[in-house]
């Protein structure tokens, strides 16, 4: 099968391609010291990156207007506090000048950016579609999750690609909508359900467990913190436990696969440079703790690195020998 391969990879000869800092929530990363915070895997030498770097490719289709032909790639200039994000085309020409302090890839023809504290949704010409006071998550299947303060409580709702509020903020937690037009939500502590794009409740379940505090809800799974130890585990939205709560970080990769990370045994804290193992929806560890910079699964493959080389892995954690491998550390993507 012919595949178009977009390569963003660190080369040892001095030109470095790697994944930039994103607000992408599709790739959920939760750690034991988070208070409902979501972060992405940091690169250990992130601040040493040279000037212009490209990121991953927009893979989405939307029903709304097409503003730019071709693919826009996330890119940035500068390092540290001076880093600014923009977008380039496949030829490397600047389409949206680097100006944002944080930015995501385009999904559904929209990107979520941070302009010095302003939370914005932009189109492929850089026009502002929506501005929110609090966090905005990446678009999935035509809708994006927004946060807002309602009577002193932070709740989640949804906007469409035009910036219209489709479902007002009312949920304690909410995942993005899947291809079937369904999303998983937490109505209140201990109550979970499935809604459609009109906000109609299709199913609901009550989970009462004082030993497990929900940290993140994604794709029908609840990442929770076990109160006795503070370690993380996974259960489904009906309350069925998946494996043991024994991890310092858990990152959802799609396709019912998780990246799981151990705590540093010496000081019982998170070491963000620790490698990950793969875990399936049965709680089975599919690999040793050997992978860094694991991407979201796409067409059955994810990018990973062992810090010496970068390659694709399948859903069993096996290196895809029939796909390209490169020396150095970075990210690959099949589109």
Residue pLDDT, tens place only, 96-136: 999 999 999 999 999 999 999 999 999 999 999 999 888 89
pLDDT of 283 > 70? The answer is yes
Distances (CA, A) of 53 to 35, 195, 312: 31, 39, 21
CA dihedral sign, ordered 124, 47, 145, 61? positive
pLDDT of 68 > 90? The answer is no
pLDDT of 275 > 70? The answer is yes
Calculate the average pLDDT of the chain.
80
Distance CA 304, CA 301 (A): 10
% of the chain with per-residue pLDDT over 90: 56
Distance CA 99, CA 25 (A): 21
* pLDDT for res 15: 30
Query: Contact 136/121 with Cβ under 8 angstroms?
Result: yes
* pLDDT for res 245: 95
Note the pLDDT tens digit of each residue in 72-99: 988 989 888 899 999 999 888 999 999 9
* pLDDT for res 30: 58
Q: pLDDT band for 70, please (50, 70, 90 cuts).
A: low
Contacts for 100 with CB less than 8 Å, ≥ 6 apart: 84, 85, 86, 113, 114, 115
Distance CA 16, CA 74 (A): 14
Q: pLDDT band for 151, please (50, 70, 90 cuts).
A: confident
Contacts for 105 with CB less than 8 Å, ≥ 6 apart: 22, 24, 55, 56, 57, 58, 74, 111, 138
* pLDDT for res 31: 56
pLDDT of 231 > 90? The answer is yes
- Mean pLDDT (whole number) for 275-303: 95
pLDDT of 308 > 80? The answer is yes
Distance CA 184, CA 139 (A): 15
**pTM as predicted:** 0.68
Q: In terms of Cα–Cα distance, which of 189, 188, 234 is closest to 210?
A: 189
Burial class (CB in 10 A: 0-12, 13-18, 19+), 211: exposed
Query: Contact 123/43 with Cβ under 8 angstroms?
Result: no
Q: pLDDT band for 314, please (50, 70, 90 cuts).
A: very high
* pLDDT for res 58: 35
């Amino acid at each position: 099968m012919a595949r178009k391969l977009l390569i963003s990879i660190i080369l040892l000869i001095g030109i470095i391609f790697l994944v930039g800092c994103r607000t992408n929530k599709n790739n959920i990363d939760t750690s034991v010291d988070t208070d409902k915070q979501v972060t992405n895997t940091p690169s250990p030498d992130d601040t040493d990156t040279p000037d212009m770097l490209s990121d991953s490719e927009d893979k989405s289709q939307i029903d709304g207007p097409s503003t730019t032909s071709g693919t826009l790639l996330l890119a940035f200039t500068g390092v540290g506090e001076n880093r600014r994000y923009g977008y380039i085309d496949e030829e490397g020409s600047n389409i949206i000048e680097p100006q944002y302090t944080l930015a995501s890839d385009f999904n559904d023809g929209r990107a979520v950016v941070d302009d010095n504290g302003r939370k914005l949704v932009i189109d492929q010409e850089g026009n502002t579609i929506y501005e929110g006071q609090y966090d905005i998550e990446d678009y999935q299947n035509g809708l994006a999750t927004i946060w807002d303060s309602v009577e002193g409580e932070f709740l989640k709702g949804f906007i469409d690609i035009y910036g219209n509020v489709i479902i007002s903020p009312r949920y304690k937690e909410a995942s993005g909508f899947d291809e079937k037009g369904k999303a998983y939500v937490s109505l209140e502590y201990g109550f979970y359900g499935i809604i459609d794009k009109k906000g109609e409740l299709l199913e609901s379940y009550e989970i009462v467990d004082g030993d497990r505090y929900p940290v993140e809800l994604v794709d029908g799974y609840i990442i929770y913190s076990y109160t006795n130890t503070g370690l993380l585990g996974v259960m489904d939205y009906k309350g069925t436990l998946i494996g043991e709560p024994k991890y310092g970080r858990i990152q959802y990769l799609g396709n019912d696969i998780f990246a799981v990370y151990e705590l540093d045994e010496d000081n019982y804290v998170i070491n963000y440079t620790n490698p990950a193992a793969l875990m399936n929806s049965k709680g089975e560890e599919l690999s040793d703790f050997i992978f860094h910079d694991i991407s979201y699964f796409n067409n059955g493959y994810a990018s990973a690195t062992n810090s010496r080389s970068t390659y694709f892995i399948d859903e069993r954690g096996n290196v895809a020998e029939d796909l390209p491998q490169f020396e150095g550390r970075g990210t690959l993507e099949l589109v």
